[in-house]
Amino acid sequence: MSIIRVEDIAYVRFRAPDLDAMESFLDDFGLVRAARGPESLHMRGAGPAAFVHVTRRGEPGFAGLAFRAGSVADLHALARHDGVAVAALDGPGEGSLVRLRDPDGFDVEVVAGQTSVSELPIPGHEPSNDARNRLRRDVLKRVGAGPAHVQRLGHCVLNVSDFRRSEQWYKERFGLITSDEIWVGDPNMAIGAFLRCDRGDIPTDHHTLFLLGTGVPKFNHAAFEVADFDDLMAGNDHLRSKGREHEWGVGRHFLGSQIFDYWRDPWGHTVEHWTDGDVLTSAWGSRNASLETLIGVQWGPAIPPTMS
C-alpha cells in the first residue's frame, strides 16, 4: 500500500545563470513563457498545466521534479508520513505542495490544487495517407515551419546510486507501478525500471519516471510530448537552424514505443521531444526487458556514447 497515488508528473526545476539564454532555448524547443521575474522563469506547454519547466537563477544544475496529486488531502498524508509541512506553491496556478528529498538527495515536490489555464492551439495536421488507407482526399498536406508545439511534460529519468532503494522510496509514497524492469541476465541483476502512475482503468503513459541504477546520482533527461510526428520533425529542423546542440534521434524506442528526439540546453541538460508513446492501464501489469532492449531502437540511429 502506498501513501498516495499520484496522477502524473507536473514539472521539472533547473538552475541557470542566464535566464535570457534559457528562455531563448526553450522558445526554440517549443515552450511558452508563463511567468518571468528577476530570479525565475516559468515555462508552459500548450496543455492545461500552468507551467512544466522552471528555472531559477544560480549555478547551472538540475533542481528537482514534481508530481501532481489528486487532492490537497493527499499532500497532508505525505506531510504526516515524512514529517514535513504543506506549503504554498510558488508560481503560476498557485496551489499547494509538499517538498521531499529522495534517497539520493533529489528534491521531489508533490503539488495539488493548481488552477488550470486555457489551452493553447496546436496544429491539427491532416491525416496521413499510407499504402493501406488513403484518408486524406482533395486536401494538400502542409506543415508549418517553426518550433515544435510542446503539449506537456511526460516523464523524467534519474540515474540513482541504489536502484532498489530508490524504487521502494518512490513506490511507497506515490503508488507508482512497474511497466518494464531492466534485467542484466536475471532478476537479481535488475538495474532499473520504467515506472508509471497507477490510475486503474485510466490509461497512463508507459513511464512517468525511469530510475537507472548507475551508482552515481545524476539527472538524465526530461521528456516533453509534442503534437505529432510532423511537429517533431519540424521542431528538429527549427532547432538545427538555430544551431542548438542535438544529442540523439530521430528514432523509435522499444520500451514505451515513443518516437524520440533528444537535445541539450545551453548548460548540457538533456531534454527530449517525443510523440506516439504507449499508454497502459493497471491491468496491463509489469514486464521485464534486457539492457539491449533498453538502449536499442526499432529504427533510427544507435544510442550515442554520451548517453550509453
pLDDT digits (tens, 9 = 90+) for 128-181: 899 999 999 999 999 999 999 999 999 999 999 999 999 999 999 999 999 999
- The residue extents of the domains of the chain are 8-115+149-299
CATH number of 8-115+149-299: 3.10.180.10
pLDDT tier, 186 (very low <50, low <70, confident <90, very high otherwise):
confident
The reply to whether omega before 111 is within 30° of 0 (cis) is no
Q: How far apart are CA 279 and CA 297, in angstroms?
A: 19
**Mean pLDDT of all residues in 270-295:** 97
* pLDDT surpasses 80 at 308: no
| pLDDT tens-digit series, residues 17-26 | 999 999 999 9
pLDDT tier, 205 (very low <50, low <70, confident <90, very high otherwise):
very high
- How many other CB atoms are found less than 10 A from the CB of residue 197? 23
User: Which residue type does 256 have?
Assistant: G
Q: How far apart are CA 25 and CA 48, in angstroms?
A: 22
pLDDT of amino acid 28: 99
Q: What does the angle CA 10 – CA 13 – CA 16 come to, to the nearest 5 degrees?
A: 155
Percent of the chain exceeding pLDDT 90 equals 94
Instruction: Identify the H or E element spanning 232.
Output: helix 229-241
| pLDDT tens-digit series, residues 53-88 | 999 999 999 999 999 999 999 999 999 999 999 999
* pLDDT surpasses 80 at 125: no
Q: How far apart are CA 203 and CA 189, in angstroms?
A: 29
User: Which residue type does 97 have?
Assistant: L
The model carries a pTM of: 0.97
* pLDDT surpasses 90 at 290: yes
Beta strands in the chain (DSSP E): 8-16, 32-36, 40-44, 53-57, 61-68, 86-88, 96-101, 107-112, 150-160, 177-183, 190-196, 204-205, 209-213, 218-226, 245-253, 259-264, 270-275, 279-280, 287-290, 297-299
Reading the block at residue 181, the C-alpha cell is 524492469
Q: Provide the mean pLDDT of the chain.
A: 96
Cα R_g (the chain), whole angstroms:
19
Which residues make Cβ contacts (< 8 Å) with residue 307, sequence separation at least 6? Answer: 247, 248, 262, 270
